[in-house]
Structure 1
Amino acid sequence: MSAPTVGYVGADVPVELITAAGLLPVRLAGKPGEDSTLGDRYLGRGVDPVARSILTRILTGAYGPLEAIVVSRDCEASLRLFYALRELHRVEPELRLPPVRLVDVLHLPHHTTTRYVHAKIAQLREWLGRWRPIGDDDLAAAITAHDTLRRSLTRVAALRRANRLSGTRFLELVAATTRLPVTAATALADSVVADPSEADGIRLFLTGSSHDDPAVYQALERNGFLVVGEDHDWGELLFARTCAAPTELALAERYQHNGPSAPRASIRARAAHTAAAARACDAEVLFAYARVHDDAPPWDFPEQRAATGLRSVLAERQPYGELTEDALAALLPAGAPA
């Protein structure tokens, strides 16, 4: 019998706690091109289309039965989504929405921040205890299992850097692991490590908005690029850091120091991280993709370009899950067909 599913939004949600409670954590993704009228109605069209798509899919039951929803405060759109879900739960009980919880993880490098994040994680642990109390042994086992998955995904990322896996396949794999029980996700990642493929192209590092759908990666790789790295939280940023120990405090520190993401980190931190990651991938091109209503990436771009020293292109106001012809033309080498 499968475990009840808890949908979660954002990489700041400590999935280890959901696993430790005997529940299945499933990261909720939007769907580009799908009608989002319901989400638009409650959030407005000025919000990131990913949040509007996720809300629509929750309201239409596209994710199947959800026991609960946990939303991280990883960006303004996620926070707006949480407020909408909480209010709908209150004023429209006929919708039968599951209970929703916000988890607020801060990323400042201070001991006071650690105490704050630890307190928030302890509160989420207590809230999830309504399904099954989370003992220290349960939590330690869940942390160990998720760290094992992160190490397996790190080996997959090394294959991509060695031209043994396409960026599209990598992104699809990472997304698949967020929908499976942790042991099954690890087995899936290990199967890719055991049977790599071949990939080639102009080595491109992708920064900017996150990608919960492979369409942009596919467009880039159809046009001669190989996405060898990225700094968004559906890619390597999701699993780059493990826990120092299988404890609640170490879990808090892991999420506090994870990142840096575009909505929550400083421009300087983002530039330093992007430059180091692009060097590790031997990237030839830096491409900053900024989705419509995602305002953070363009602020980062000038320092990222300077820090990497790579040929760099910024594509602003891109449709959700799409790459416009103008953006592709700016990215392609002079004289190359679009």
Structure 2
Amino acid sequence: MAAGLLPYRISGVPDRATDLVAEHVTTIRPPFTRRAATIGFVETALDAVLGGALDFVDHLVVPHTRKMVQAAYRQLLLAQEARPDLRLPSVHYLDKAYIPSPAASRFNRAALEGLADAVASWSGTPLTTHALERAVDVMNTSRALLARVAALRKANPPRITGPDALAVFGSAAVMPREAHNDLLAAFLEDTPPPVAPTDPVRIHLAGSPQDHPAVYRAIETCGAVVVGDDHCWGDRCAWWPVRSGGAPLDGIAARYDAMPACSVEFPLARTVERCVDAAVGSRPDGVIFFDLDGDEAQLWETPDEIAALRAAGIPTLHLPRQPYTAHLPEDVTAQIAAFVTSLHTAGVR
């Protein structure tokens, strides 16, 4: 933003065929007969890049988060090498060290400075202190406004639905942020009415990132409301403002060093603690963990998070290895409906 570019966060495309990924991305060598399982939102986003659906994107930053996300960097380079005729954006890898230490902080600062140099070269515009300060102010304003949206759905009764809140968070990531701030400020001038005539079951959604509303709609079709979530397309968009005062790049670097990338954090106990804190803060009647097929990070996190929540007396439903689709399978929606009903039957409502 400070370099005069438009940040645009790429999402997946539910149910998109991934023939181009199968054609251009290296397969596992025999005796294995298929490519390694990957996360649907990564696979479909990568296919969209290869297929030209995102031809308006000039430069792509691939961050070091989930393994399948960072793998896209090498996959795109190999695809371009094999097929020079493919029109692909230039790709920059934003690395990160996770084990807290002074050395990791220095490494992360250097990685961020490398990104700053890259975007300055892309735009031909030096990153001045004034431009960085303005960009920090715009983003901190955005996070404060998004925090107010998060508070609306945590209210009792909730004042915004889960799908609508997700749309607000997602739209912030794909349009000019100052314009989004103006629209959101206008929306927040008056407190919206309750989203349901009666007090609904309150559900907190955790697990894999959700960049489309299928799970939210399935939950709310059952008479519940998603009052909070724990993934990088939801409430977390409002977290970690850049500290004020001092050189702006110092504040941005400190934020980058301190914040987890998606849910990847060290040690694992801190990831679990953050998940439980987010859930408790939503004051939920129950928590649903929706883990996408191929999302290896959740194989490590979710069991401990479920155990911690149950120890705190919060009911949970775990839906592992789920497909990345715009329409959930009937058996999955049935499990969600049964869980919501069980909260009613147990006297939660």
Kindly indicate whether the alpha-carbon contact (under 8 Å) linking 1:89 and 1:99 is maintained by their aligned counterparts in 2.
no
Alignment partner, residue 253 of structure 1: 254
Kindly indicate whether the alpha-carbon contact (under 8 Å) linking 1:228 and 1:283 is maintained by their aligned counterparts in 2.
yes
CA distance in 2, matches of 1:122, 1:260: 17
Alpha-carbon distance, 1:334 to partner: 6.6
CA distance in 2, matches of 1:331, 1:272: 25
| CA displacement 1:123-176 (0-9 Å, x = unmatched) | 111111111221122111111111111111001111111100001100011111
Letter of the 1:118 partner, please give it. R
What's the RMSD between the two structures over aligned residues?
2.1
SS in structure 2 of the partner of residue 55 of structure 1: helix
Letter of the 1:24 partner, please give it. L
Alignment partner, residue 164 of structure 2: 169
Kindly indicate whether the alpha-carbon contact (under 8 Å) linking 2:59 and 2:91 is maintained by their aligned counterparts in 1.
yes
Alignment partner, residue 7 of structure 1: none
Query: Using a 3 Å threshold, how does the CA distance of structure 1 residues 334 and 145 change in structure 2: closer, same or farther?
Result: closer
Kindly indicate whether the alpha-carbon contact (under 8 Å) linking 1:288 and 1:297 is maintained by their aligned counterparts in 2.
no
- Summarize the alignment of residues 48-87 of structure 1 with structure 2, pairs less than 5 Å apart: 48-87=39-78
Alpha-carbon distance, 1:335 to partner: 9.4
Alignment partner, residue 209 of structure 1: 208
1:117 is the counterpart of 2:108: yes
CA distance in 2, matches of 1:197, 1:170: 14
Alpha-carbon distance, 1:311 to partner: 0.6
Alpha-carbon distance, 1:240 to partner: 0.7
Alpha-carbon distance, 1:266 to partner: 3.7
SS in structure 2 of the partner of residue 158 of structure 1: helix
CA distance in 1, matches of 2:270, 2:319: 21
| CA displacement 1:40-66 (0-9 Å, x = unmatched) | 333436221211101111122222412
Kindly indicate whether the alpha-carbon contact (under 8 Å) linking 1:243 and 1:251 is maintained by their aligned counterparts in 2.
yes
Alignment partner, residue 347 of structure 2: none
Query: Using a 3 Å threshold, how does the CA distance of structure 1 residues 110 and 298 change in structure 2: closer, same or farther?
Result: same
CA distance in 2, matches of 1:256, 1:40: 35
Alignment partner, residue 332 of structure 2: 327
Q: Whose Rg is larger?
A: 2
SS in structure 2 of the partner of residue 80 of structure 1: helix
Alignment partner, residue 6 of structure 1: none
SS in structure 2 of the partner of residue 33 of structure 1: coil
Kindly indicate whether the alpha-carbon contact (under 8 Å) linking 1:36 and 1:52 is maintained by their aligned counterparts in 2.
yes
- Residues matched between the structures, number: 319
Any gaps of 5 or more consecutive residues in structure 2? Answer: 26-34, 343-349
SS in structure 2 of the partner of residue 95 of structure 1: coil
Structure 1 window deviating more from structure 2 (304-313 vs 106-115): it is: 106-115
Any gaps of 5 or more consecutive residues in structure 1? Answer: 1-18
Alignment partner, residue 272 of structure 1: 273
- Summarize the alignment of residues 235-254 of structure 1 with structure 2, pairs less than 5 Å apart: 235-245=234-244, 247-254=248-255
* TM-score using structure 1 length: 0.88
